[in-house]
A = this chain, B = another copy of it.
Amino acid sequence: MSTPYKRLDKDNAAVLLVDHQAGLLSLVRDIDPDKFKNNVLALANLAKYFKLPTILTTSFETGPNGPLVPELKALFPDAPYIARPGQINAWDNEDFVKAIKATGKKQLIIAGVVTEVCVAFPALSALAEGFEVFVVTDASGTFNEITRDAAWDRMSANGAQLMNWFGVACELHRDWRNDIEGLGALFSNHIPDYRNLFTSYNALTGAK
């Protein structure tokens, strides 16, 4: 009962973005496409903001699954990019695991499409190898709620921690004073309600 909780640490965390591909995205129906797009980009921008090592991977991107969405490619031009030749579980791909281990991080923040396969399989594999795994539920999507709930249950029962991108950002940042403007900009860009708060506040206080 008195062990410290598994808390995200920006010096010990890496981000894995798995199979956010233009074709596969048409399969995602447990979350609205406008919201899902926003969540994925929010996660990507937070990875960027916290300078977390980020690894991209895709499955058969020259086939019907389609290419990685261009926004992700553009955000991480220098990130390891593993176009898997066929492995469904990204963890079965040696280059992917090597890239992860090369970061030296023990905490893995994972999101992808679809949740029960592209997220759950590497999450379970990583847990089995002793990594701490944080699933970004709202930047991961799948066919429907039945499928999602089952996938969450499987991952949670194996020790994965279920989070959302906002929680990840807050847990990594720890203290607003580390950079108020930076975190504020991230939230303003990806949470319309927060942006409105900033807009009204700035109008009244004369802030920019």
A interface residues with partner B (beta carbon < 8 Å): 1-5, 7, 22-23, 25-27, 29, 31-38, 59-60, 62-67, 69-70, 85-89, 92, 114, 116-117, 120-121, 124-125, 127-130, 135, 137-138, 143-144, 146-147, 149-154, 156-159, 161-164, 166-167, 170-171, 173-178, 180, 191-201, 203-205
Contacts and interface: CB of A to CB of B under 8 A. Distances in A.
A37 B3 CA distance: 35
Given A29-B29, A150-B152, A128 B67 contact: no
Contact of A163 (B7, B127, B150): B150
B154 A153 contact: no
Number of copies: 8
A167 B112 CA distance: 14
A33 B193 contact: yes
A22 B143 contact: no
A137 B127 contact: no
Main secondary structure of the interface of A (DSSP, over half): helix
A31 B193 CA distance: 13
Contact of A127 (B5, B22, B154, B161): B5
Given A36-B192, A146-B31, A162-B150, A177 B69 contact: no
Given A116-B166, A163-B116, A147 B154 contact: no
Contact of A157 (B117, B156, B194): B156
Contacts of A162: 149-151, 153-154
B25 A170 contact: no
Q: Which 5 A-B pairs have the closest CB atoms?
A: A86-B177, A150-B162, A64-B197, A22-B199, A5-B124
Given A166-B143, A175-B92, A22 B128 contact: no
B33 A192 contact: yes
A85 B124 CA distance: 39
